[in-house]
Structure 1
Amino acid sequence: MANNQNQGNMSREEAGRKGGEETSRKYDQEHFENIGQKGGETTSEKYDQEHFENIGQKGGETTSKDQDNNFYKDIGQKGGETTSEEHGQKHYQNIGQKGGETTSEKYGEEHYEKIGKKGGRNSGNGSSN
């Protein structure tokens, strides 16, 4: 049976921490990025998309059991603020323009005339189109 203590009365956890600190001093950021990328590539070759979908589903279910609505509101707020700070107003104008063009191409003029008439009837201005 393995002993959890090494020769100098150091716990396995402490020895692991010291080893990790030494490794981190020995290698630079690029080294860790390279081995992380290799690990990611190997993992993606080993497993199919369904595997990753399943673990993502399980993680999402676990998170939703452990967190309340405020958690999701908070992370959504933080994400929105970060995105806004990183991209600015021009970004939102561009994606709004692209979304409008795509929707227009998808539905066409007849669609907008139809929803415009419905909106006019429901606007409360007395119109009866």
Structure 2
Amino acid sequence: MANNNNNSKNNNNNKMSYEEAGRKGGKTTSQNHDKEFYQEIGEKGGEATASNHDKEFYQEIGEKGGKNSSNSGNSSNSSRSRSNNSNNNSSNNG
């Protein structure tokens, strides 16, 4: 994979792709911040989403999530994990 990144840089006048820039930025951010940082920005994002959407929005995405979880036969562990996380989040927002 490293060779592909180098080749794409050479083909684009040594410019970094958006994908590579995002990966580097995410890695740097994760090295400079702890778990609490991510919890805080996640909470802010949740509050912003809640202020911009109504009950119907959450009903629709809940239905979509339920459909995706029930249709994904091979990922029962990941859907169970998502379910546990949403339960934890909803109890914290009480």
Q: Which has the larger radius of gyration?
A: 1
1:54 maps to amino acid: E
Which residues of structure 1 form unaligned runs of 5+? 80-129
* Aligned partner of 2:40 among 24, 34, 49: 34
How many pairs does the alignment contain?
A: 69
Which residues of structure 2 form unaligned runs of 5+? 1-7, 85-94
Give me the TM-score of the superposition, normalised by structure 1.
Answer: 0.43
Structure 1 outlier segments of 4+, above 6 Å: none
In 2, Cα distance between equivalents of 1:33 and 1:26: 14
Report how far residue 9 of structure 1 moved: 4.8
Greater relative contact order: 1 or 2 (C-alpha under 8 angstroms, separation 6 or more)? 2
- Percent identity reads 43
In 1, Cα distance between equivalents of 2:13 and 2:40: 34
Report how far residue 42 of structure 1 moved: 1.2
Q: Which residue of 2 aligns with 1:47?
A: 53
CA RMSD of aligned residues (A): 2.9
Give me the TM-score of the superposition, normalised by structure 2.
Answer: 0.55
Structural mapping, 1:1-129, within 5 Å = 8-67=14-73, 71=76, 75=80
